[in-house]
Amino acid sequence: MIPFTPIGTIHSPFTDPVGMPIQPAGANGVRGTITLKEEFGAGLRDIEGFSRLILLYAFHQVNGYALEVVPYLDTVPHGIFATRAPKRPNAIGLSVVRLVEVNGCELVIDDVDILDGTPLLDIKPYVPAFDCFPDSEAGWFGDCGSRVSDARSDCRFH
């Protein structure tokens, strides 16, 4: 057993998984907040210098997992590890959001594709020199990225 202690809670306008954007690229301008637990507040030192953050969180509304899924941007099954579908053996999500403002233990963020009340496991700074690889292959996703802004979640993974 590997225990995780949530460090805070992510708040967003999305109270139901159905109809949510499926990636931050489809949530452009959607505002949310992170309420960090007070005991982790010192960990935010110098975070305001970053324009983007990587959030790791628990898919707390997902039950069970599937090793093959039909993802939102395709019509054929793929292995779960070749998708970003939430129904995973370890229900951990990842989103890259824009940092707007830091107010003590509250972070204001944009481009939020996360369900309201989601337990936050970790925050990492997005560093373009480390995290951006424009020449990378995207497997079966191909040109799916052009459709992500209009794609919305349905009930298949909840």
Q: Could you read off the pLDDT of 39-80 as tens digits, one per residue? A: 999 999 999 999 999 999 999 999 999 999 998 878 899 999
Q: Which residue has the higher pLDDT, 152 or 115?
A: 115
pLDDT digits (tens, 9 = 90+) for 118-142: 999 999 999 999 988 788 776 766 6
Full residue range of the structural domain in which residue 30 is found? 12-127
Nearest to 89 by CA among 58, 69, 65, 70: 65
Number of neighbouring beta carbons within 10 Å of residue 117:
13
Structural tokens at position 76: 């054929």
Per-residue pLDDT, 88: 94
Instruction: Report the mean per-residue pLDDT for the chain.
Output: 89
Per-residue pLDDT, 74: 83
Identify whether 17 is part of a domain.
Answer: yes
Q: What is the mean pLDDT of residues 99-126?
A: 97
Identify whether 47 is part of a domain.
Answer: yes
Where does the pLDDT of residue 155 fall: very low under 50, low under 70, confident under 90, or very high at 90 and above?
Answer: low
What is the tally of structural domains in the chain? 1
End-to-end alpha carbon distance in the chain: 24
Where does the pLDDT of residue 149 fall: very low under 50, low under 70, confident under 90, or very high at 90 and above?
Answer: low
Per-residue pLDDT, 140: 62
Q: What is the mean pLDDT of residues 77-99?
A: 94
Identify whether 155 is part of a domain.
Answer: no
| CATH code, domain carrying 101 | 2.40.30.70
Per-residue pLDDT, 26: 78
Per-residue pLDDT, 38: 98
CA 145 – CA 25 distance, rounded (Å): 9
Identify whether 50 is part of a domain.
Answer: yes
C-alpha distances in angstroms, 20 versus 5, 59, 94, 112?
Answer: 26, 14, 15, 10
C-alpha distances in angstroms, 14 versus 71, 132, 138?
Answer: 20, 28, 28
